[in-house]
Amino acid sequence: MPTRDSIYVDGTWVASTGSDTIEVVNPATEEVVATIAAGTTEDVDRAVAAARRAFAAWSATSADKRAKYLYRLQEALTARATEVSATITTDMGAPKKIAQAVQTGLPITTLGVYANLLSTYAFEEMVGNSLVVREPIGVVGAITPWNYPLHQVVAKVAPALAAGCTIVLKPSEVAPLAVLLFADLVHEVGLPPGVFNVVTGYGPVVGEAIAAHPDVDMVSFTGSTAAGKRVTEVAAATVKKVALELGGKSANVILPDADLAKAVKVGVGNCFLNSGQTCTAWTRMLVPADRQAEAVELATTAAAGFTVGDPTADGTKLGPLVSASQRDRVRGYIERGIAEGATLVAGGAESPDGVERGYFVRPTVFADVRRDMTIAQEEIFGPVLSIMPYADEQEALEIANDSVYGLAGGVWSADRDHAVAFARGMRTGQVDVNGGRFNPLAPFGGYKQSGIGRELGRFGLEEFLEVKSLQL
């Protein structure tokens, strides 16, 4: 893979003002596969200046013309989907099928969603004697993570472009290569210079410069809660809008009358998706106490089906974690769970059998997990499931809500109305009822320390709009 040591500013690839570079490592092989530029504050200044210059013309571009650019991007990404998904597998270790269907497929869908939305969204309406106008907020700073490296970018870039905003993006330095390919596509479709800019680099340098910049009108950040707090703190000095999509510790509540076998199987798959590196992962499985043994048996069997290995192989279901530090962090949580008295029923902190290199972790299941245990409270971000018994539905709801997070969750019951009633009591931004499918039109975001604001669909578009009223 070629060296990508330039940044994309004002419609062209240019050298960084700094000389430092960052190595990109394939987590399955531990080999360096590329280097990227370690951007500087001066690079951010250049990118923001370009975005500011481009804003007046882009914000005045018709919704129809903005939609055409999004359709072109969708077509370009679709044409390069195989290359992009293979790059994501190399970049952060997603198994081939996940990289194709989710990591690449979802961004393609999202681009189409926003292109379509522009044909129907009402940017103006009359409210009494007032004309209420929704206008683009301005220059958007987007800071994105490594776990879904392209989806998290497109979930910000597509609605921001649709709204008429210009963008300065800092992708994760851990898995940036698919994003740089996306920038190539932006260039190919002829998006006007300065509308979309990319500065690679480290969070404390590039990310903080974006959040602090007085000419950035809004920061949209996805990542850890700790980093989100820092972004908010830095952005507060200029009183800019901040949208945050942060951590999660989601509960999968299996009610007594549910189809236990189905609920457990789907729940394990949800927890282990993307090697557990998913903010919405159902990492807490709540089961009736008198059925915990049955649930444990089902979960253990399901976990055994998650083949660990080469993410480019067809049969692999569980790829590596993204880095050595992430692998060590997750293994540390497994050891902590054992030390605090949880019952290890599958997996463990040892390297998977037959794996000699790569940042792999065994698919791990704990039983008898109490709500005060570290593994029940903190986001692990790896393939680790905690099975938690409850006495009755009231206790199940209390356990589900006993978290500083509130991003996602699941609830299962033979009676859908009963499941919906239970879901209404869960303090979380999304709840899947009986395995309800992911909906890219629905709002995505969290309660409590899982974030501020919403992404996807019209709700995501409105995050990038200011509201003005004209009294007539």
- Residues annotated as catalytic are 245, 279
Give phi and psi for 297, each to the nearest 5. Answer: -60, -45
Report CA-CA distances (Å) from 13 to 8, 43, 49, 192: 4, 12, 16, 14
For the chain, how big is the Rg over CA atoms in Å?
Answer: 22
3-state secondary structure at position 236: helix
Instruction: List 343's β-bridge partners, or say none.
Output: 367
Classify strands 241-245 and 451-452 as parallel, antiparallel or unpaired. Answer: antiparallel
Classify strands 6-9 and 12-15 as parallel, antiparallel or unpaired. Answer: antiparallel
Phi-psi region of 18 (alpha: psi -120 to 50; beta: other; left: phi over 0): beta
Distance CA 268, CA 160 (A): 34
Distance CA 365, CA 387 (A): 7
Classify strands 384-390 and 364-367 as parallel, antiparallel or unpaired. Answer: parallel
Strand order of the β-sheet with 218-222 is 12-15, 6-9, 196-198, 166-170, 139-143, 218-222, 241-245, 451-452
Distance CA 235, CA 142 (A): 13
Distance CA 393, CA 85 (A): 42
Exposure string over 417-440, b if 16+ CB within 10 A, otherwise e: ebbeebbebbbbbbbbbbeeeeeb
Spatial contact of 244 and 451, defined as CB atoms under 8 Å apart: yes
